[in-house]
Structures are given as C-alpha cells and as structure tokens.
Amino acid sequence: MPKEQDLANRPDNTAFTQQRLPAWQPILSAGIVIPGFVLIGLAFIGIGVALFLTSRSIQVQEFDYTGVDTTSSCYMCSSTNVPNCVCYVNFTLTTKFQGMVYFYYALSNYFQSHRKFGASRDYYQLSGDTTYFTAPLDVCIPFQYANTTPIVPCGLSANSLFNDTFKLYQIVNGTTKLVPFDGRGIAWWSDYNIKYQNPKVTPLKDAFKGTAKPVNWPKPAYELDTTDPSNNGFVNQDFLVWMRRAALPNFWKLYRRITDPDYVGGLPAGNYSIEITYNYPVISFNGKKRVVLSNVSWMGGRNPFLGIAYLVVGSLCIVMSIVMLIVYAKFKFPDDV
C-alpha cells in the first residue's frame, strides 16, 4: 500500500463527492399511483359535493338596470343625460333571504383590468403624501393636470369612480320602509387602514388647496362623505372599493351590507324596491349595470364552478384509476410470471 502522502490527490471519500448521498427514490408504481388516484378522486368528489351543495344554498338576486330595454324604468335615465336621474327596480322575495345580506353593484364589459387602470394612479398621493398633491406622477397622464392645476386624486382609476347610488326599500303593506345600508366594512382592512391615507391636515379641505378634482367627479375628494370624516377623502370606502381594481371585465363590487338590527336574520320575504340614482354611463361601450343581493357561506359567494370542477376532476381521477388498473392487470401480470 502506498503511503498516505503518496495519495495526496486522492479525492475525499464522502457520500457527497462520491454521489452516494442517501436518498429516497420513489417510483410511480401501480401500488402507489392507482390507489392514489382513487383516493384523490374520492376526496375530490367529496369536496365537490360539499361545494356544490353549499353554493346551491347561497341565495342571489340580480337585477339589470342598465336601461337598454325600453320597458325598463331606467331607460329614461340611460337615454338622456340628466344628472342624478332616479329610477327603480322592484322585486319580490318569495322566501326569506338568509343571514347577512350583501348589496353589490356589478359591471360587465368594463375593462378595469386594462393595464392603464392599474398604472394610472399615484400611490404617494393616495397614501397622503402632500408633496405629490402639487406634482402628481407622470403615470397619471392624461389626468395629471387639469389645465395646469394638479388633479387629486389623479389618474384614470380615480377619475372613473362609479357614482350611481342605491337605496333599498321594503314595501310593507303598500308603504315603503327604508332598509338601512351599512357603508362601513366594505373595503379591505389593509386598504382602509394602511394603503390609503388622508393627509394629516385638518380640516381635510386645506390639504387639497391648489388642486383640482378629477374631471368626472361632481365634487372633490374631501367631500365624498361629509357626514363622516373617517369615510371621507381617500379613505372613503366606496372609493376604496372602486380603486381595488377588478381582474376581469365582468365584476361585482360590494356596495353596502345590511346590518340593521331589523334585518339581522336576513331579508324577509316580500316586495322590495331599489331606488337608483343613475349617473354612470355604460351603454356607449355595451356595458351592463346590475345590482345584486347575495348572502355568503364559508366558501364565499355563490360559485357553482368550483363544485362542478371538483366533481368532474374527482370522477376523472376515478375513471383514470380504472383505466390504469385494467392496463396494469393486462400488461403487468403476464410479465411478472
């Protein structure tokens, strides 16, 4: 045997250098794959049934009020250009609307997902940094300056703020009873508390000195909700809901919750009327406007897709496992002998 120093170049004998690291070497064998598919299939069918039933149990009432149809009460509002035009949607609940009821407005064919809606806003402004009040970011173009006055809040997103308003009335024995809406808690906690902030200036109005309101807005940001300072300016919840941009061209946005003690168990069966202040034009681009009443479950709102998808995938897994079993039996066993 050569001496130790003669082996100066001998590589180290470690599991790593010799590629002998202990390892788990799984194989997709029939014993794992087929039962695996069956298990996953069964689990998915289970989840699918649960989801499907849950989704079915969620009540949704949806009413189009775009006013394209001449019979619609909103036809007048949509065809003329009267500001604050009021129209009504009447409906009847045959059964009680269970649980807390959420009131949404929905837009379709509305491309809030367009890149510019996302880009065209100034986060510094919206987080209350007044230096950007006088000089909004360039991304806000073409709503950066109104002539030479800086726009606050600037940009496309803010400018296109949805400005229809709704009121819900219950018609009890021919008399209309306002169902009170709760406008709080409709925006994300993080948006309301962190992301959007008013400038630390009181009164708020002073911070907006020397700025212009967005072109489409009837009133400036500091007058969005004059009744409640905590819902005014950039932390106005309707504004926050709008600014959280929809991913797809058809979307719902939460308008109000019904938390009134009278309706805490839900909306009783009966006749209802929604009073709509119609401001937001959508007909020009074939958009649709709807109002939606819905309750929710542990899995959120009504969504038949997920349940069905789970059922389908689960069944496919079962079918596949059967196919694989047949193949395995047919081709594998003769080989093994």
Residues 84-143 that bind other proteins (CB under 8 A): 100, 102, 104, 106, 109-111, 113-118, 122-124, 126-127, 129, 137-138, 141-142
DSSP 140: G
CB of 286 to other proteins, least distance (A): 7
Q: Does 203 bind other proteins (CB under 8 A)?
A: no
Window contacting other proteins (CB under 8 A); options: 12-20, 87-95, 172-180, 260-268 = 12-20
The CA distances from residue 74 to 142, 169, 286, 296, in Å, are 32, 17, 15, 29
Looking at residue 90, its amino acid is N
Q: Which of residues 279-298 bind other proteins (CB under 8 A)?
A: 281, 284-286, 294, 296-298
In 3-state terms, what secondary structure has residue 218? coil
Give the integer Cα–Cα distance in Å for 101 and 103: 7
Cα 120 to Cα 117: distance, rounded to the nearest angstrom = 6
Q: Which of 94, 174, 175, 189 binds other proteins (CB under 8 A)?
A: 189
Is residue 22 within 8 A of residue 288, CB to CB? The reply is: no
Does 39 participate in binding other proteins (rule CB under 8 A)? no
Of the ranges 71-79, 169-177, 204-212, 314-322, which one interacts with other proteins (CB under 8 A)? 314-322
Task: Tell me if 333 contacts other proteins by CB under 8 A.
Answer: no
Binding residue (CB under 8 A) for other proteins from 49, 86, 320, 322: 320
Specify the residue, 173 or 285, whose C-beta has the smaller distance to other proteins: 285
With respect to other proteins, which residue has the nearer C-beta, 129 or 260? 129
By the rule CB under 8 A, 313 interacts with other proteins? yes
- State yes or no: residue 328 binds other proteins (CB under 8 A): yes
- Angstrom distances, CA of residue 237 to CA of 4, 48, 112, 188, 225: 78, 35, 18, 9, 10
Number of residues that bind other proteins (CB under 8 A): 103
CB of 258 to other proteins, least distance (A): 10
* 208 lies in the binding site for other proteins (CB under 8 A): no
Which residue, 94 or 190, has its beta carbon nearer to other proteins? 190
Least distance from C-beta 273 to other proteins, angstroms?
A: 22
Looking at residue 282, the DSSP 8-state letter turns out to be -
Residues contacting 293, CB < 8 A, separation 6+: 59, 60, 61, 62, 97, 101, 102, 103, 104, 267
Of the two residues 88 and 328, which places its CB atom closer to other proteins in the complex? Answer: 328
**Residue 210, phi-psi category: left (phi > 0), alpha (psi -120 to 50), beta (remainder):** left
- With 0-12 / 13-18 / 19 or more C-beta atoms within 10 angstroms meaning exposed / middle / buried, residue 263 is middle
Stretch 48-87 residues interacting with other proteins (CB under 8 A):
51
Least distance (Å) between residue 307 CB and other proteins: 10
Residue 227 C-beta: closest distance to other proteins, Å? 23
Q: Which of the residues 252 through 281 are near other proteins (CB under 8 A)? A: 252-254, 257, 281
Burial of 130 (0-12, 13-18, 19+ CB in 10 A): middle
> Site residues for other proteins, window 141-170 (CB under 8 A)?
141-142, 156, 159-160
289: closest CA among 59, 77, 67? 67
Taking CB under 8 A as the rule, does residue 247 contact other proteins?
yes
